[in-house]
Amino acid sequence: MSMRVNEKGLHHRSGRVKPVRVSLILTLCVLSLAACSASSIEQERKIYTREATDEGMDRAKSQGHGLNGPLIQELDDSFAAKGIKLMNNMSADDGEGGISYMYLLNGSGRHIVKVHIFSDVPTRVTRMNEMYGNGGDEAVMENGLGKTTIRSKAYVSLVYTASGGEKDDYEEDVIQVFQHVLEQLK
């Protein structure tokens, strides 16, 4: 037992300290349980509203492992078979269920392949019109700076842009790959 000294002499220390500590510990435990419970409720809400599934699908698509994975893998394999490496892979989510990938052919900034995957055909047509001024299945646009070739099918558009004096270096191979990959779509 601890003792304290005051003006009246030695006295036993008050027993009030222990209940205060116990009360504080219990309060912290209850708050922790409430926080865990709120977190669990939020996770359950995401499951029942499909938000968790949508978040997972978005992550998978941006990493090329979702439903678009086979398409991107086929594109990569087809270019590799022609001796062309797809390099500097970049991707962007459009916020409407679509995603775009961009590659440099053999690391050259003069040869760019873009893969636009949209949520549906009407969205593809609208977005391709906005981006390239053409929502059709095939287009070739050329100006003094370069040449852009577009091939589309269903909800996918493949775009090849070549610039500078090397405009025709990969064109034949790229068109063959585009046709092959689009034929794989059902």
Tokens of 164: 């500078």
Q: What is the pLDDT of residue 45?
A: 62
Question: Counting runs of H as helices and runs of E as strands, what totals does the chain give?
Answer: 5, 8
Q: Please report, for the chain, the start and end positions of each structural domain, with discontinuous segments joined by +.
A: 3-48, 65-183
pLDDT tens digits, 129-140:
999 999 899 999
> What's the predicted TM-score (pTM) here?
0.65
pLDDT tens digits, 14-44:
555 567 777 778 787 776 666 666 666 666 6
Instruction: Name the region of 154 (left: φ>0; alpha: ψ -120 to 50; beta: rest).
Output: left
CATH of 65-183, one of 3.10.450, 1.10.10, 1.10.730, 3.40.1000: 3.40.1000
